[in-house]
Structure 1
């Protein structure tokens, strides 16, 4: 071992970019000073050094905005603390709209910003001209101005983080390559470098585009891929003000910033160029990639029209450098599912500079506490699935993800690239029947069905889209007859062993020691009482259970399950997701249809709600579970995949007489919103508890042995009336649609935000739900006596509030 590195440390960080140095800084600030940061070449030499250095605050959720806002607030403190300049200039930013649809997007974002306490202004063309006098206002309809955004020097910020970390005892070693991660018994225990081994209690992978290769060598999937990113820096521009706000013109895929009297023009073009498919050169360090003027020329042509001064200004620098992108344009943070004590912070999708402070602080606290400090599910690395780390998938998706940063963020927008990775056995049959597929976690799922002769394709809008009437017909079929949903994307886990009951009872809030064939709807909590998962558990044998959860959370939930089975219990969990197809047969005629195809008695007495048993359909033995996510009488049918097509054919053939209609996930989302059914990741997060969420009926308060989080829930229960609760809303204007994070106003002040929204076709109204806060308690009387409005795109819309769902609040239909 070299004398410049120790043989062991509490934390080893791999990567000397801005995020790695931020993590080291924040760890030492927390008192964790035995930190070693290893950089293969020089600090910032990968991506950080050539970043544009834009410091924006508004992201698409409260948590992500808080992290970005923290970065902005930190930069002044960092400079004072270390004496190292950061180049931070709080000159604001403008988002420019060249059409009404983009203006609607920007105004919705501005309304959302109010939830987060950001200073935001909706501005017209004349205001924009005052802020950016050199701008050509052709086609400009408006914009949004955030005065506290700005710009900074990424290299200087990195050096400040590094200096601050060193001041508290961290050791930063440059020109030392990490050869591989060391893993023993499923835990990261250190690294092997060119100069020997360093043992560690925690290893952090913050190596940017090198992260995927290092992780893959120990069986960990880190889905990211580099893409070429272009910008130019002009010669000096005569008369250029030095306080110009950062300007983003997403409709022209461009951003601008003033840079020492010059203009920097960057691009997020619609079709990107992936880079590094054959590996990253060993000597890559402060390197630029070859110019491609033809690729950048369309951006430059539009820019010369938008900023006429560019026509007479020369180009000083044409730059092309690699940046890492992930399959969903959100970065990767947290402890990996595959290896304990291995943390990652990478794949920042061109927002690494503005995210660096917040991400570093959050990960440092995560390392200290071994739990995330807030709901970070948006960026939690466990949201990813192993197939997303394959080279071809990443290459194909990266051509799109770079450009999506500036593309219109339409509701329900679907990816165009890397499609078809995971398909139900019914896929081709459903497409032939008019299914328009959406994608989630690689699964192709029928979102809606086009009528014969119509175009089976999305036409996006902020209001009702082209599938609105189709989805309405599907909802009404579920209400009046019977709908068939393909729910094969569900994740399914088998939990077995003599101690399976004890293990699941410890992990789950509900009592799972139930009779054979009984189902439990339950949540999994963390020790702080927050919800880590929302799912069903079915007892299929004395020592055997089937856990069913969302396909999107498959990796995350299975990891939580495995890691929380007490080590002394005889219990094993197996992921059986790929072995079973799932059909939802829902609606008042579902019983008659299933009785017809099975020959079984499915009456209430014979087959009560929340029970499950095997039945026969055609030649197949299947598991039928009487449960619903749409608020109607219905069953989920679990079928071995090899029998799925046969069972589908039986249902379709016999279903015609019962009014069977194929239905998609948009219809399911409408129905579940009418019923107030919660969705994990939107309405339920690790920061929410079951009592606030209206799920107290799930809690087994007195079950033997208790469960994770019980003590906290008891404190909440005993504290008196809940001051924060999930509430349902219906807008008085049904033409305004809710999606996510719209502010909830009560008597003139913001009291919460919408967690999810959808149009309810069975009730004929625009609906949403969200948590509402009131210091004196959120009660039915208070709701009834208060005036509620939901802010949609900078306009307040009156709304009716209710603790009960707007559709079938007494659950008569599901238990009929």
Structure 2
């Protein structure tokens, strides 16, 4: 007997693909008894049913790997728990490199895998042929083997999750379409209040009241979000594969990936599935995904797939005589950055999202469902999920033209070379600083972050103005080294306009920021405070500077990519405080003028001010006259040198830049890019939010206790800070410098202490002043003092090679910060 759809639920999940089924399963497992999942057609009928079913362990970061490993372990147990066959087996996977650059990439990935606890082996040619005898080894440059990777039946895994959810009391209803998500206002914020549903076959309809809705609508998730003003940026693309007829004598094989040929090969039941991630993909559904799409596929496009197949026949000669049983073309969703969307949408409280899985939905959904259920149940994720947190998306990214243009590239990027500093090539130019054209005319080569075009380095006359990517020193290395030296030895200028600016204004601004920030905000007008937003566990939700502009107004400055996240955090904790919170990023341009001669330059550009240390000490901001205009000078530094950040109203930016450049000619002022800023900041040991410090990194273990004032009462995270002070630190962040000046560091390289892997680098860059690559990373040290920790022998593993490293708790460059405060 079918029970009527309830009128009240603890949570309503929209969409019955593997993601929705996983969320239902995990909520029910946590004891949520009245969970309802509504599927417009049939379970798995959108994308899940035609997925390839590859279940890998290794992802690009530690926490994404944790989620994938969880998925594997879950799928291995589901069949016994539910009685539904999942087809899961650990057959392993192999990735083959056909170029030296790709070999460097996969060997670096192998090192990363060891740091993340994933079993991995580098393969010689003979080993490859033993594990995969059908491959043509022409062009072989290297290979790696992950023996515990697996594969499974995507549809049945989803159905097993659905059955497990039902067994624990969840209701799953098919042929029920959600027509509206309702909202109310709670504590001044928009919040979910329920959904309206309809059965197309019978015309029945109704409403379910709930405080939680989860958008797991797959290809339909973006349009569903738009109905409530929730930005869920994704675009469907055509995805192709063929399945051969049965091949006599074909036995179980590992999954084989040959990314240099854009191809993957999966053996299943004596057949070969050949799939592709071609460089230029075909977006689909630009006019909307049809409502009646159900277990459907798209028209064949053999011409589009032919180049992949031609290379595959050469790589796998047995395909030449194998008949093609199925030529499949089905849509899958891709996001602007190839990372899926997870978490609570910043626009509406209680509106959660799990969508846009970029062809890794099967291997990701088990972990994603677990993490989202934890988030909903406890109010915070189980660990840092910033890689996929939907708050990383900017509002403009929901633009349909943007999504279509970017999607042409992102599908192919899954198998493209993942070079460090690689920039997206499509959908560029949407956000430009007022200085953009002036910098472009002077040789700027731009990168993109959160849509902002930012000068990353400056080409010299006659040099090509584009990246030439490599795992070795790239074509801009010497340019950035010269810019770095200008900042260290003379004076350099770089553009910081893209950094987020949030104005907090109102009667209670001081009290509110004292509640949200770890540092003391009860400072005089003009004071700049470095601080963090902490969560209840003293993890770092934001890393910011806060400038008091007046008695009631503060300016919060944050990285470019975290404005939406930080606005959401501030709004969530506003409560009854009488404050307004406004994103004012675009209102001002910002020029950073840094270096030992920065004072001379400022005196020349703005002669009516006294730029002495006494008149304008470090950590203060003041209004200035510069050229014919006005600006605000903040004496702070992210590069460890004397300097100022000059905030200029957007209408006066071009004039102020001209004024500074004119004054700088006599001082040999050098235009610098953000690569130089990064190399300077890592020499100084300054943390980078999202890499070195995240919501699960304790502020004391990150070495930022100096920015927390526990003498101040009642701020978020205070109790957790005091507890950790009593208990002692479980780990510490160290700075490392390679003693060999040649290797390069980027991130995720394993840290070895006395020969054992104990962690990984959270970020890395070349230290041109220190004379070697520099990285930051956490090292366990429970019960140890600093002296014992530093007496160890440290190495960093790079592509399988171990390199000795000098370790330090203090910055290796100017540890006393004398230069910044000079």
Q: TM-score, normalised by structure 1?
A: 0.98
Q: Distance in 2 between matches of 1:775 and 1:500?
A: 39
Seen in structure 2, the aligned counterparts of structure 1 residues 719 and 373 have a Cα distance that, compared at 3 Å, is: same
How many Å apart are 1:778 and its aligned residue? 5.1
**Residue number in structure 1 paired with 2:202:** none
**Residue number in structure 2 paired with 1:416:** 425
Matched-pair contact (CA < 8 Å) for 2:92–2:254 = yes
Deviates more, 1:16-25 or 1:71-80: 71-80
Residue by residue, what CA displacement relative to the aligned partner does 1:327-374 show, whole Å, maximum 9, x if unpaired? Answer: 000000000000000000000000000011100100011110111111
**Residue number in structure 2 paired with 1:169:** 169
Matched-pair contact (CA < 8 Å) for 1:693–1:725 = yes
**Residue number in structure 1 paired with 2:714:** 706
**Residue number in structure 2 paired with 1:798:** 804
Question: Aligned ranges for residues 576-595 of structure 1 at < 5 Å?
Answer: 576-595=584-603
How many Å apart are 1:723 and its aligned residue? 3.3
Question: Aligned ranges for residues 115-134 of structure 1 at < 5 Å?
Answer: 115-134=115-134
**Residue number in structure 2 paired with 1:68:** 68
How many Å apart are 1:782 and its aligned residue? 2.0
How many Å apart are 1:14 and its aligned residue? 0.1
Q: Distance in 1 between matches of 2:781 and 2:810?
A: 18
SS in 1 for 2:618: coil
Matched-pair contact (CA < 8 Å) for 2:781–2:789 = no
The one of 183, 192, 196 aligned to 2:196: 192
Matched-pair contact (CA < 8 Å) for 2:761–2:777 = yes
**Residue number in structure 2 paired with 1:321:** 330
SS in 1 for 2:28: helix
Residue by residue, what CA displacement relative to the aligned partner does 1:121-154 show, whole Å, maximum 9, x if unpaired? Answer: 1111111111111110001122110111011000
SS in 1 for 2:212: strand
Question: Aligned ranges for residues 516-527 of structure 1 at < 5 Å?
Answer: 516-527=525-536
**Residue number in structure 2 paired with 1:371:** 380
Q: Does 1:12 align with 2:12?
A: yes
How many Å apart are 1:3 and its aligned residue? 5.9
Question: Aligned ranges for residues 272-351 of structure 1 at < 5 Å?
Answer: 272-351=281-360
**Residue number in structure 2 paired with 1:596:** 604
**Residue number in structure 2 paired with 1:653:** 662
SS in 1 for 2:752: strand
SS in 1 for 2:353: strand
Matched-pair contact (CA < 8 Å) for 1:463–1:735 = no
**Residue number in structure 1 paired with 2:369:** 360
Matched-pair contact (CA < 8 Å) for 2:54–2:363 = yes
Residue by residue, what CA displacement relative to the aligned partner does 1:678-727 show, whole Å, maximum 9, x if unpaired? Answer: 00000000111221111111111112x3310000100111123x231110
Residue by residue, what CA displacement relative to the aligned partner does 1:41-82 show, whole Å, maximum 9, x if unpaired? Answer: 000000000000000000011100010001111112111110
SS in 2 for 1:275: coil
Q: Distance in 2 between matches of 1:784 and 1:320?
A: 56
Q: Does 1:668 align with 2:677?
A: yes
Q: Does 1:717 align with 2:725?
A: yes
Matched-pair contact (CA < 8 Å) for 2:191–2:211 = no
Q: Distance in 2 between matches of 1:733 and 1:557?
A: 39
SS in 2 for 1:387: helix
Q: Does 1:28 align with 2:49?
A: no
Q: Distance in 1 between matches of 2:810 and 2:546?
A: 25
Matched-pair contact (CA < 8 Å) for 1:724–1:778 = no
How many Å apart are 1:381 and its aligned residue? 0.2
Q: Distance in 1 between matches of 2:704 and 2:52?
A: 46
Residue by residue, what CA displacement relative to the aligned partner does 1:537-589 show, whole Å, maximum 9, x if unpaired? Answer: 00010111111111110100111111112x22211111111101111011111
How many Å apart are 1:238 and its aligned residue? 2.1
Q: Does 1:58 align with 2:53?
A: no
Matched-pair contact (CA < 8 Å) for 1:290–1:320 = yes
Matched-pair contact (CA < 8 Å) for 1:518–1:612 = yes
Question: Aligned ranges for residues 77-88 of structure 1 at < 5 Å?
Answer: 77-88=77-88
Q: Distance in 1 between matches of 2:424 and 2:163?
A: 42
> Any stretches of 5+ residues in structure 2 without a counterpart?
199-204
Q: Distance in 2 between matches of 1:706 and 1:617?
A: 41
Question: Aligned ranges for residues 518-597 of structure 1 at < 5 Å?
Answer: 518-565=527-574, 567-597=575-605
How many Å apart are 1:519 and its aligned residue? 0.5
Residue by residue, what CA displacement relative to the aligned partner does 1:222-260 show, whole Å, maximum 9, x if unpaired? Answer: 00000000000011112211x200001000000000121
Matched-pair contact (CA < 8 Å) for 1:4–1:173 = no
SS in 2 for 1:8: coil
Matched-pair contact (CA < 8 Å) for 1:124–1:141 = no
**Residue number in structure 2 paired with 1:237:** 247
Q: Distance in 2 between matches of 1:515 and 1:76?
A: 60
SS in 2 for 1:257: strand
Q: Distance in 1 between matches of 2:811 and 2:600?
A: 27
Matched-pair contact (CA < 8 Å) for 2:535–2:695 = yes
Matched-pair contact (CA < 8 Å) for 1:725–1:778 = no
Q: Does 1:268 align with 2:277?
A: yes
Question: Aligned ranges for residues 135-146 of structure 1 at < 5 Å?
Answer: 135-146=135-146
Residue by residue, what CA displacement relative to the aligned partner does 1:641-695 show, whole Å, maximum 9, x if unpaired? Answer: 0000000000001111112110000000000000000000000001112211111
The one of 756, 761, 776 aligned to 2:763: 756
Q: Does 1:731 align with 2:738?
A: yes
The one of 460, 485, 491 aligned to 1:482: 491
Q: Distance in 1 between matches of 2:212 and 2:99?
A: 49
**Residue number in structure 1 paired with 2:815:** 809
Q: Distance in 1 between matches of 2:537 and 2:130?
A: 50
Matched-pair contact (CA < 8 Å) for 2:233–2:397 = yes
Matched-pair contact (CA < 8 Å) for 1:723–1:778 = no
Q: Distance in 2 between matches of 1:113 and 1:200?
A: 41
Q: Distance in 1 between matches of 2:73 and 2:116?
A: 14
Matched-pair contact (CA < 8 Å) for 1:744–1:791 = yes
Residue by residue, what CA displacement relative to the aligned partner does 1:742-800 show, whole Å, maximum 9, x if unpaired? Answer: 11001111121101000011221111110111233251x22442111000001111111
SS in 2 for 1:197: strand
Matched-pair contact (CA < 8 Å) for 2:181–2:192 = yes
**Residue number in structure 2 paired with 1:744:** 751
How many Å apart are 1:282 and its aligned residue? 2.2
The one of 625, 630, 635 aligned to 2:639: 630
Matched-pair contact (CA < 8 Å) for 2:63–2:383 = yes
**Residue number in structure 2 paired with 1:392:** 401
Q: Distance in 1 between matches of 2:699 and 2:158?
A: 41
Two-structure CA RMSD over aligned residues (Å): 0.9
Q: Distance in 1 between matches of 2:755 and 2:771?
A: 27
Q: Distance in 2 between matches of 1:778 and 1:343?
A: 43
Seen in structure 2, the aligned counterparts of structure 1 residues 560 and 36 have a Cα distance that, compared at 3 Å, is: same
How many Å apart are 1:596 and its aligned residue? 1.5
